[in-house]
């Protein structure tokens, strides 16, 4: 149960937030370290090695991310909750691994119903309860409850990962439920990835255009891909990234004039397919149109940081930049651009249980709280946002929430941080394969990548995998037969945490 329901939260709010104008007051923002403004910029499919601050040999240009790292913290062992996008987003917003939800593998479609349960306590709930204005702007990909066409029932699916069709969906009408029912005061989103229809902007659950047409698909060249389907008459795929950036800048400018702190969840559409860098970025990298799109993404970060500076709220705004999973950098891409390692030295790619699937960039800046930029080797997971923000805002988590969220806020607030109490991390691939990490050891419950990569190793016939990441970060030597006791202990720990419904002590399923 939530501490405070969405309806009660809404009634407690001093204003009903219909649009940005409701945020504006003439009072200067209050400076309060216990309630910083918070922005999470979530890139879509950006690998650890796509950023120059993580990979000196990157063939992309990421000056703004480099500056973010120079001014703040660069976590070198950060992981998305899954190797693909929907489950990672679920975990980030709920503090709970998505495999505990009905989604056991794969991702949602554009017409899928909401995955986050209505009663589930979210990061937006937590911060709204602390007096924040909350907003979600960008790619949602967590399901929406669409209205049905007249005389047609909602489509019944056997599992969330099944792709629902547009046949019985009324795209011209307002949503039945969406982000505004999960703690967000304001939302401006598309339902899914930019290569999945419908191609419609939704502001506070209302389509910004009500004339719907057919949009042709594309699949050439590699990466410039999107599916055919329904969309708004004036929707332009190539303008989406910049459009969301402008919406986010407007939110920051107007929210900064209020006395309340703000929380902005900004999940970008890039550099996920379709790779559509704007003209200003074409040819700027040495990694093709993908590298150009990464550079475009970096520019978006720069525009957000500049907006914070111009609004006078840079110092007390906590900015987190990360990605929902590793890069979709296939063997053919690596052959064409061998100098660029999108996932750095790590094995595999998006979708995989190997490190390339879920080890992600994670940069943090909060000038008012810490002025000693550094790299941090502490293992963190994107599910940890909930517990960390609870501590920063001096709140307690309800018992039935954030089952897999661990507080690492002391890295933000102390020169001598105490080690986070996360002792193990569960990984999950697109096919539903599990792995668990504890210290230097990583145990994979199965053969192969669990995703799109092929396993060419000599021990690929073994029923499981065990790696020493401290000495073998590339996961080249399966130690299953050499370290059977450790493998058995890791397997038991995985089974226990998976079946008990939580990994954070004190939490309950």
pLDDT digit string, tens, across residues 407-461: 999 998 877 777 778 999 999 999 999 999 999 999 999 999 999 999 999 999 9
- Residue 243's pLDDT is what? 98
- Closest of 43, 421, 27 to residue 258, by C-alpha: 27
- Closest of 68, 112, 84 to residue 318, by C-alpha: 68
d(CA 437, CA 422): 10
Q: Which residue has the tokens 């056991």?
A: 104
Q: CA dist 108 to 113, 119, 160, 270, Å?
A: 8, 20, 6, 18
Q: In whole angstroms, what separates CA 445 from the centre of its chain?
A: 24
166-171: long-range pairs with CB below 8 Å, 24+: 166/111, 166/197, 166/198, 166/229, 166/230, 169/111, 169/198, 170/146, 171/146, 171/198, 171/200, 171/207, 171/212, 171/230
Residues 6+ apart with CB under 8 A from 197: 110, 166, 215, 227, 228, 229, 230, 231
Strand partners, 215: 229
Q: How does the average pLDDT of the chain come out, rounded?
A: 92
The SS3 of residue 326 is: coil
pTM of the model: 0.93
Q: What are phi and psi of 334, to 5 degrees?
A: -65, -35
Q: Which residue has the tokens 């149109």?
A: 289
The SS3 of residue 324 is: coil
- The stretches in the chain having pLDDT less than 70 are 1-33, 151, 153-158, 162-163
CB 167 within 8 A of CB 155: yes
Give yes or no for a cis peptide into 164 (omega within 30° of 0): no
What sign does the CA torsion over 83, 86, 91, 93 have?
Answer: positive
The SS3 of residue 272 is: coil
32-68 pLDDT, tens per residue? Answer: 567 899 999 999 999 999 999 999 999 999 999 999 9
CB 123 within 8 A of CB 386: yes
- Residue 23's pLDDT is what? 38
- Residue 154's pLDDT is what? 64
- Residue 416's pLDDT is what? 77
- Residue 162's pLDDT is what? 67
d(CA 477, CA 28): 57
d(CA 145, CA 135): 19
Residue ranges of E strands in 4-122: 37-43, 73-75, 78-79
- Residue 148's pLDDT is what? 86
Residue 266: which H helix or E strand, with range? strand 262-267
Edge to edge, the sheet with strand 362-365 lists: 206-207, 202-203, 186-190, 133-139, 262-267, 37-43, 317-323, 362-365, 73-75, 374-376
CB 225 within 8 A of CB 274: yes
Percent of the chain residues topping a pLDDT of 70: 91
Q: What is the DSSP code (8-state) at residue 213? A: E
Bridge-based pairing state of the strands 262-267 and 37-43: parallel
- Residue 1's pLDDT is what? 43
d(CA 477, CA 447): 14
Q: Is 158 exposed, middle or buried (0-12, 13-18, 19+ CB in 10 A)?
A: exposed
Q: Token pair for residue 479?
A: 């130690």
């Amino acid at each position: 149960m939530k501490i405070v329901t969405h309806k009660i939260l809404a009634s407690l709010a001093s204003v009903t937030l219909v649009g940005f104008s409701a945020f504006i007051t003439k009072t200067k923002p209050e400076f309060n370290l216990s309630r910083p403004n918070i922005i999470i910029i979530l890139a879509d499919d950006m690998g650890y090695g796509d950023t120059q601050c993580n990979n000196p040999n990157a063939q992309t240009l990421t000056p703004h991310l480099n500056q973010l790292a120079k001014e703040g913290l660069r976590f070198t062992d950060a992981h998305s909750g899954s190797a693909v996008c929907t489950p990672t987003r679920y975990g980030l917003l709920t503090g709970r691994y998505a495999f505990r939800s009905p989604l056991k593998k794969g991702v949602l479609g554009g017409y899928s119903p909401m995955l986050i349960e209505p009663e589930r306590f979210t990061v937006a709930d937590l911060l709204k309860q602390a007096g924040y204005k909350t907003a979600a702007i960008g790619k949602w990909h967590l399901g929406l409850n669409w209205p049905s066409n007249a005389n047609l029932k909602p489509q019944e699916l056997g599992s969330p990962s099944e792709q629902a069709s547009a046949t019985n969906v009324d795209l011209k009408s307002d949503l039945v439920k969406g982000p505004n029912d999960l703690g967000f005061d304001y939302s401006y989103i598309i339902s899914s990835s930019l290569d999945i229809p419908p191609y419609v902007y939704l502001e506070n659950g209302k389509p910004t255009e009500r004339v719907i047409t057919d949009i042709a698909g594309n699949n050439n060249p590699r990466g410039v891909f999107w599916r055919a389907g329904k969309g708004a008459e004036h929707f332009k795929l190539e303008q989406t990234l910049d459009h969301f950036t402008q919406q986010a800048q407007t939110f920051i400018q107007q929210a900064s004039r209020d006395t309340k702190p703000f929380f902005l969840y900004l999940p970008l559409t890039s550099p996920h397919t379709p790779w559509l860098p704007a003209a200003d970025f074409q040819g700027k990298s040495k990694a093709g149109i993908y590298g150009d799109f990464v550079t475009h993404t970096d520019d978006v970060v720069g525009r957000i940081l500049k907006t914070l500076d111009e609004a006078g709220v840079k110092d007390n705004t906590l900015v987190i930049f990360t990605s929902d999973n590793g890069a979709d950098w296939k063997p053919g891409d690596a052959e064409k651009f061998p100098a660029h390692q999108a996932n750095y030295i790590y094995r595999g790619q998006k979708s995989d249980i190997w490190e390339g699937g879920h080890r992600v960039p994670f940069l943090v800046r909060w000038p008012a709280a810490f002025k000693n930029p550094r790299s941090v080797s502490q293992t963190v997971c994107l599910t940890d946002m909930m517990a960390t923000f609870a501590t920063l805002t001096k709140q307690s988590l309800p018992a039935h929430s954030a089952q897999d969220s661990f507080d690492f806020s002391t890295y933000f607030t102390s020169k001598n941080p105490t080690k986070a109490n996360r002792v193990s991390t569960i990984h999950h691939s697109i096919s539903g394969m599990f792995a668990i990490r504890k210290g230097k050891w990583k145990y994979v419950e199965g053969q192969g990548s669990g995703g799109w990569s092929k396993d060419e190793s000599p021990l690929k016939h073994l029923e499981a995998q065990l790696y020493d990441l401290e000495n073998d970060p590339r996961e080249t030597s399966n130690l299953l037969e050499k370290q059977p006791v450790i493998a058995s202990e890791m397997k038991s720990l995985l089974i226990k945490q998976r079946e008990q419904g939580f990994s954070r002590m004190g939490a309950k399923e």
